[in-house]
Structure 1
Amino acid sequence: MYNSLFMQNPNVVRIGRRRRRSRNESRLLQRLRTALLLLCFATILAVVGMVAASVSTYQALAADMPDLDDYRSTELAQTSLVYDANGKVVDQLYGVQNRFVVPLSDVDPTLKKAIISVEDHRFHEHRGLDFEAIGRAAVENIQSLSIQEGGSTLTQQLIKNTYIAQQERFIPSFERKFVEASLAWQYEKGHSKREILEQYLNTVYFGSNAYGAEAAARTYFNKDASDLTLPESALLAGIINLPGVYDPFADPESAKQRRNVVLGRMLEYGHISKREHDRAVASKVVVSRGRVVYQNDNEYFLDAVRKEIAGEYGNDMVYEGGLKIYTTLDPVLQAMASEAVDAIVNPEAGDPSASLVSIDPSTGAVRAMVGGSDFDEVKFNLATQAHRQAGSSFKSFVYAQAVHEGISPETMYVSKHLNIDMGENARPYEVDNYDFIHRGPITLQKALADSDNTVFVQLALDLGLQKVVEMANKLGVDSEIDAYPSTAIGGLRVGVTPLEMASAYSTFANSGTHMEPYLVQKVTKDQNEEEQLLEEHRPFGEEALSKDEAAVVTQALRAVTERGTASYYHDLEAEIGRPAAGKTGTSNEFIDAWFVGFIPQLSTSVWVGYPNERRSMVNVNGLPEINGENYPLDIWSLYMQGAAQKYPVEQFDSPGPDLNLEVKTDGRAYVKPPPPPEPPEKTTEEKTGDETKKDSGSGDTVVQPEEPDPPGSRQAEPRQTPSAPGPDPVPPVQQAPASTSPAPTSASPAPDGG
């Protein structure tokens, strides 16, 4: 009944339902609280796990992380520059990276703003890590299940470019990103934003092997980074993301579209006005390859400079040290030298090659150097590396030693066939002149003018061969020279280089004082925004001859050009407009041909021959043979006609009255026999008797013929001036190069034979 009543009461039913609902809700809340507690606990565990994992990862990676303290001592690879004597850049030396480190003040503000806008617009707000960008990158990476977005700040990019190994920089890796982020956070603690931006601008890659803003500005616009315009800066900033895609040389349209994106970002972040944006977007993309245009005519000179500096500082310093190398190269003289060589010889057509070196006698500075005809094809430098027979151009050194020992140029030797005993079990050394022309007794000065072999071998033997070698060394020949009789006429075991010969003859032009030849004036390096001097050449001379002795040698070498072997086809004084001195030289079988000559301000050597073989230069372009009087002298004259115009006309020194030179009468020197004694004076009576006999005669005067002198006994009297040419016929002077003139016949004066 109770139950029946209870069931029939509606209020009682509602109370029961409420109680059941209340119990259900209580159970649900309890479950929710339990789930929430479990979730919180799981979260805490996850965070702890993540922290522990991070700590563990950091500890695991810490040992391999680069030390930030080393950053300041790590120098970026920088391009070295080579300058000519006028201060113009003529070469850039770099290895993997072409870079010029510059201070932030030398970068136009538009480039700074453009890079910040497109690469890290919150650069001035974060401390090395941009968590907003990291979050955005994380979403992208999770969605793609790979590392697509990096979220890297400029600081992180700097860390990647300076600390991360080259081979790892472009491999996507969470581990590498972790290292970058960790080091960037540390790095910002010890460096200002200005320092970081400056370092970034000197390290970031802009494509086309240009690292840093300065190299990029020069590569793409041929200007300094301080002179960039807004459109140019935006173009460079756009390249950084994908240098290969946005290369303005390869794809100017893509580069322009990317540039406009950068300009849009600059406008969005308030770095430029709408008007500046619109004008920049409307501008065309104009690029200019700002690389040094290498001129083949100076490559041999520059190659010699590179080798010299590498020998002193090492290749790493040369190609990564950011050196500034100031050379002695005169670009005007270098161009003239190359043009003169090319005008006479064409190795590609089978002609022999030629080398030319020109030196300032007063300092030793090498002003021009032709080491071959095509550096791209042949790297061997004939000017510095080719040791060749000097021929008769070496006779000047024998002559110089004679003068140094007080021997007068009027000393005479007999020009004749020589057969010199070389010792037991050795063949005699036979010496003749070209075409076996022997001149009989002849002065030393005329022997030099006519390039007489036999006289100079005898003179060298009298002087002492070792003394001749030492004189050549003092004058400027550094190559090894043997004390052999053949050395007197340029028959050398090792040979000499054109650089050595130009240097040795420059000693005569510099009043007997030898100045060591050099190509590098100074070397500097930018250090803390200042140019630090690493080395500077200070000219230092050593006296080989006195001023008067050098003047006597120069007089003899002038006689060579005025009436000796160098006058057969050229009137050098007329051609170059001033006095010149020099000596021809031709080795046996016409294998090497030289002319080495000078004016007071410039000494120049020219060598002609085949560089890869000892090949006779006969029947070349219609000439029976190439010798010192034609091709080398043709080149020398063509070059000096222009080169001499850079200098005022200056006369050579004359020997002073105090120089005491004596005619040599001992050794192998020729001594002229004394004249016969004068007949005794006749008495008055004898004279009267003679008159009587004369009056009583028929009136016809009979003259008895003189007894002829023995052959070779009658000689010209020694004179103070150079003697006139001998009986050899002399062809008329030709103003055109000998190489374009009719070839000398067998009746022509003989060229050098040594």
Structure 2
Amino acid sequence: MPHLLRTSRLFAWFFLTGLSLAVIVGSGFYLYLRPGLPPVEQIMDIKLQTPLRVYSKDNRLIAEFGEKRRAPITIEQIPTIQLQAFMAAEDSRFYDHYGVDIKGLARAAVELISTGSIQSGGSTITMQVAKNYFLSRDRTFIRKFNEILLAIQIERELDKPQIFELYLNKIYLGNRAYGIAAASQVYYNKPVNELSLAQMAMLAGLPKAPSAYNPLANPQRATQRRDWILGRMKEHGFISPDAYELAIQAPVTATYNATETEVDADYVAEMARAEMVRRFGEDAYTDGYTVTLTVDSEDQQKATDALRDGLEAYDHRHGFRGPVGELDADTLANGDLSAAMLNYPRVESLMPAVITRVDDDKNEARAHVRRFGPAVMPFESMKWASRYKTENYTGSKPAKPSDVVSTGDVVYVRVEEIATVQATPEDGDAEGTPAPALDQPVRVSLMQVPDVEGALISLEAKTGAIKSLAGGYSFGQSKYNRATQAQRQPGSTFKPFLYLTALESGMTPATIYNDAPIVFDDAGAGWRPENSGGRFEGPTSLREALYRSRNLVSVRLLRDLGISRTLDYLEQLKVPVEGMPSDLSLALGSGHLTPMELARGLAVIANGGYDVKPYLIETITDVNGETVYQAPEVVLCDRNCDTEDSQSVPADDPVNAPAVTAEAEPETRIMRRLADERSVYILHSMMRDVIKRGTGRRARALGRDDLAGKTGTTNKQKDTWFAGFNHDIATTAWVGFDQPAPLGRGEYGASTALPIWVDYMKVALEGTPSAFMPRPNGIVNIRINPETGKRARPGEEGRFEIFKEEDAPAALTADDEGHTGSGSGGSDLSRQIF
């Protein structure tokens, strides 16, 4: 008995000694590690890395930027059965422990002792939250102790639902999906509350090893893991035996579903991304900002489509430049054609294809199309493809398929009714799935990627809000945004600014100038400006000179106005003059403006003469839905405009507001008057004639009477334009080569840019009423003699013209009414005719 007592005491002392040592060691670890743990405030202020999302003003997704796909979700939005699936897989005693599961840790320790390596970490969901948010993923004892201590701290500060919510929003589930909501979309393309039991269990199996148990990469192992989780759910009473039996019989239905953008607007998206980075730095990609733009999704999509269609139409007019590559006979017979096509990128809707057979008897060619496989190309789709020779000449019209393509040629095609064919990620995408197997060859049309480029910009004239913008044929092919970056000669689209200068200087639409040859001899270097077509009309009113785009009248007009005076007025209109020449070629648009700068200047005319500052971003909200930026309300102001809440945008950044805090952002943006409203009203009338009877007649196809505009074509047709508007919308289209070169014989603003403008405006104006500038006070209508510009005498043929009161032709005297004669109208004719 004494021996037993002594033995019991010895064991008790050993136990107490061990316990004391454990307490001392544990306390030491705690004192050593505690200072490195994050403070409570950091735990409570956790930020999820959520991507930047850009939306149109009608809430259509334009783009998503950020490394991680994530869509934060609240615990209330997640079905209970989904929570139980994760508990069964990761921590069945989650609601019973205080952050650390002793049983789980003991099991992990036994596995370590018995096998000599770490088999499982014994981590609870709380410990995984600690690791995922604050710690590294190193498998070390120090990190594990940190994890335990931080888990206990988290449990003290947060309740169980909060911890579970953090876990389900942070956990990585493969394929760049972070969080349960993102994974549900990526694998099943539906929200969490619409998943089946089998799908919920499949997602719950991913945290352990997102690659090994990925249903896309390894469906067999993923199914085994899913069924094990379903069994655990049955054991814990989360599901019934019947539900278990049904779920394990369910097939694997996971597919890869990339984030689907709803608007084709890459250039606009890049402008928004760059502005967000300028405002918020790299945090813009991770802090969950949502940007709503001023663009309307339907208008924006039409701008993109109209520009591409117009560039393709030009490209077809100038012929087929031949195949972009060639495959040899051995590759055609024995090679992997899909792999061979990887050398040729997809360009928007155009897919690379190799011609596998040409059959003139059946009037078709056979092809293998990247991602779609076998295809048939009917000859009807090749009839445009006369061989390109120069910008002015093409070969003869093809009569059969072999006149266009040969076996082995690599060409670009457009798959007909492409929307009806299952879309998949690009070949070579590790996250993608194979292209669909099609029962029948797809029908394709022969295409080629245009060499020519272009841009289209549409602004709300009264506010400067960008309605739509297309900066080129393909952002993937070239990220150069021609709408905002391309400095090009505006040609005759510059003339409205010149004619507005004349109207502000006392001239009128009835002022007569001579449209006749003129030569300027400056230091022996002669310059002989010409009209398009080489014709001369003699004495011509400014109204007619504008709508017929008479170059010689514009040169004489600028000479009379003075170059310095004209440049000063351009500065008043805030049209950039840095790229403008200081000679008479200015009258013909030989300066340089970007399409955006020209569109902004035309918007000043469209809105009646008020300043315009284009802007793209309407609102910015943070991850919590709080508005951090709201575009100021635009107020058009005629007088007493100097208010404290007005804001100006730097001249070198006319598209975006400066980076300011929400508190500093003004509530209104004051747009001051830059031009006399009467002069602008008269110019509207003159520019409507460009469409009614002048070079812009193709715009009459829209069937509207409120449209005004101006075509533009530079020397040798290197730049072609159409800029048009009503009182609400101002839109500019440009077409040219990135490296300026002639577009070819017969290519003018009316044939290249105007069809794009019409195609877009058909949608932008649909359902809108006519929008005319209101007639201001101080305007008079007077019947004039069109040949002289003077008032018409009684019984004399004449037409009505509009004038500012002070610039109206003098009233007829009794002597004028009694005999015939001619005069100069608003100026001395002898001085005007050169």
**Residue identity opposite 1:523 in structure 2:** I
CA contact (8 A) 1:406 1:661 kept: no
Name the structure 1 match of 2:430.
none
Name the structure 1 match of 2:633.
538
* Alpha-carbon shift at residue 280 of structure 1 (Å): 2.9
CA contact (8 A) 1:465 1:483 kept: no
The alignment-based identity, stated in percent, is: 30
**Does 2:542 align with 1:444?**
yes
SS across alignment from 1:244:
coil
CA contact (8 A) 1:235 1:255 kept: yes
Q: Residues 298-377 of structure 1: matches in 2 within 5 Å? A: 298-317=265-284, 319-346=285-312, 348-349=448-449, 351-377=451-477
Separation in 2, partners of 1:411, 1:547? 20
Name the structure 2 match of 1:724.
none
SS across alignment from 1:584:
strand
**Residue identity opposite 1:415 in structure 2:** D
Name the structure 2 match of 1:598.
725
* Alpha-carbon shift at residue 514 of structure 1 (Å): 4.0
Give the alignment partner of residue 245 of structure 1, picking from 212, 234, 255: 212
Name the structure 1 match of 2:76.
105
Name the structure 2 match of 1:658.
778
CA contact (8 A) 1:297 1:335 kept: yes
SS across alignment from 2:540:
strand
CA shift in 2, pair 1:39/1:391, >3 Å: same
Separation in 2, partners of 1:326, 1:716? 59
Separation in 2, partners of 1:470, 1:223? 60
**Residue identity opposite 1:445 in structure 2:** R
CA contact (8 A) 2:696 2:710 kept: yes
Aligned positions, number: 631
**Residue identity opposite 1:536 in structure 2:** A
CA contact (8 A) 2:263 2:297 kept: no
Separation in 1, partners of 2:816, 2:779? 34
**Residue identity opposite 2:503 in structure 1:** V
Give the alignment partner of residue 635 of structure 1, picking from 756, 767, 772: 756
* 1:61-92 alpha-carbon deviations (Å, 9 max, x no partner): 33433334322234221122221122122222
SS across alignment from 1:513:
coil
Name the structure 1 match of 2:694.
564
* Alpha-carbon shift at residue 52 of structure 1 (Å): 3.1
CA shift in 2, pair 1:100/1:577, >3 Å: same
Separation in 2, partners of 1:420, 1:659? 37
Name the structure 1 match of 2:716.
589
CA contact (8 A) 1:406 1:660 kept: no
CA shift in 2, pair 1:61/1:654, >3 Å: closer
**Does 2:586 align with 1:487?**
yes
**Residue identity opposite 2:260 in structure 1:** V
CA contact (8 A) 2:728 2:771 kept: no
Give the alignment partner of residue 555 of structure 1, picking from 685, 699, 711: 685
* Alpha-carbon shift at residue 452 of structure 1 (Å): 2.5
* Alpha-carbon shift at residue 134 of structure 1 (Å): 0.8
Separation in 2, partners of 1:468, 1:224? 61
CA contact (8 A) 2:490 2:593 kept: yes
SS across alignment from 1:211:
coil
CA contact (8 A) 1:99 1:212 kept: yes
CA contact (8 A) 1:344 1:631 kept: yes
CA shift in 2, pair 1:215/1:549, >3 Å: same
SS across alignment from 2:464:
coil
**Does 2:110 align with 1:139?**
yes
Separation in 1, partners of 2:282, 2:576? 26
Separation in 2, partners of 1:101, 1:480? 49
TM-score if structure 1 supplies the norm length? 0.76
How large is the RMSD of aligned CA atoms in angstroms? 3.5
**Residue identity opposite 2:502 in structure 1:** A
* Alpha-carbon shift at residue 657 of structure 1 (Å): 6.2
* 1:590-640 alpha-carbon deviations (Å, 9 max, x no partner): 2111111123443221111111x121222xxxxx14221211122223333
CA shift in 2, pair 1:558/1:126, >3 Å: same
* Alpha-carbon shift at residue 263 of structure 1 (Å): 2.1
Give the alignment partner of residue 410 of structure 1, picking from 510, 514, 519: 510
Name the structure 2 match of 1:126.
97
Separation in 2, partners of 1:37, 1:397? 106
* Alpha-carbon shift at residue 121 of structure 1 (Å): 0.9
Give the alignment partner of residue 76 of structure 1, picking from 48, 69, 77: 48
* 1:149-178 alpha-carbon deviations (Å, 9 max, x no partner): 1110111000001111xxx31x32111111
Give the alignment partner of residue 552 of structure 2, picking from 454, 467, 483: 454
**Residue identity opposite 2:714 in structure 1:** S
**Does 2:232 align with 1:265?**
yes
CA contact (8 A) 1:239 1:246 kept: yes
**Residue identity opposite 2:30 in structure 1:** Y
**Residue identity opposite 2:590 in structure 1:** G
Separation in 2, partners of 1:288, 1:359? 41
Give the alignment partner of residue 33 of structure 2, picking from 52, 61, 69: 61
Name the structure 2 match of 1:694.
none
SS across alignment from 1:155:
helix
CA contact (8 A) 2:495 2:588 kept: yes
Give the alignment partner of residue 614 of structure 1, picking from 720, 734, 740: 740
Separation in 2, partners of 1:63, 1:119? 29
CA contact (8 A) 2:62 2:264 kept: no
* Alpha-carbon shift at residue 365 of structure 1 (Å): 2.5
* Higher RCO by CA contacts (8 Å cutoff, separation 6 or greater): 1
* Alpha-carbon shift at residue 127 of structure 1 (Å): 0.5
Q: Residues 377-416 of structure 1: matches in 2 within 5 Å? A: 377-416=477-516
**Residue identity opposite 2:730 in structure 1:** S
Name the structure 1 match of 2:352.
none
CA shift in 2, pair 1:507/1:189, >3 Å: same
Give the alignment partner of residue 647 of structure 1, picking from 749, 753, 768: 768
* Alpha-carbon shift at residue 295 of structure 1 (Å): 6.9
CA contact (8 A) 1:510 1:600 kept: yes
Name the structure 2 match of 1:510.
607
Separation in 1, partners of 2:123, 2:817? 117
* Alpha-carbon shift at residue 35 of structure 1 (Å): 6.8
Separation in 1, partners of 2:159, 2:775? 71
**Does 2:85 align with 1:114?**
yes
Q: Which moved more, 1:40-49 or 1:195-204?
A: 40-49
**Residue identity opposite 2:311 in structure 1:** V
CA contact (8 A) 1:84 1:331 kept: yes
CA shift in 2, pair 1:175/1:105, >3 Å: same
Name the structure 1 match of 2:377.
none
Separation in 1, partners of 2:623, 2:37? 30
SS across alignment from 1:142:
helix
* 1:231-258 alpha-carbon deviations (Å, 9 max, x no partner): 3322211111111122222333433332
Separation in 2, partners of 1:445, 1:607? 24
Larger radius of gyration: 1
Give the alignment partner of residue 64 of structure 2, picking from 92, 111, 116: 92
Separation in 1, partners of 2:76, 2:576? 49
* 1:462-514 alpha-carbon deviations (Å, 9 max, x no partner): 4444553455456564574546233332111xx22222222322333323334
* Alpha-carbon shift at residue 180 of structure 1 (Å): 0.2
* 1:249-280 alpha-carbon deviations (Å, 9 max, x no partner): 23334333322222222222222233333333
Separation in 2, partners of 1:102, 1:520? 26
Q: Residues 708-723 of structure 1: matches in 2 within 5 Å? A: none
Separation in 1, partners of 2:288, 2:604? 36
Separation in 1, partners of 2:293, 2:696? 33
CA shift in 2, pair 1:131/1:316, >3 Å: same
Separation in 2, partners of 1:461, 1:614? 28
* 1:695-745 alpha-carbon deviations (Å, 9 max, x no partner): xxxxxxxxxxxxxxxxxxx979869xxxxxxxxxxxxxxxxxxxxxxxxxx
Separation in 2, partners of 1:589, 1:435? 12
CA shift in 2, pair 1:349/1:83, >3 Å: closer
Name the structure 2 match of 1:19.
none
Q: Which moved more, 1:223-232 or 1:113-122?
A: 223-232
Separation in 2, partners of 1:655, 1:395? 23
* Alpha-carbon shift at residue 384 of structure 1 (Å): 1.5
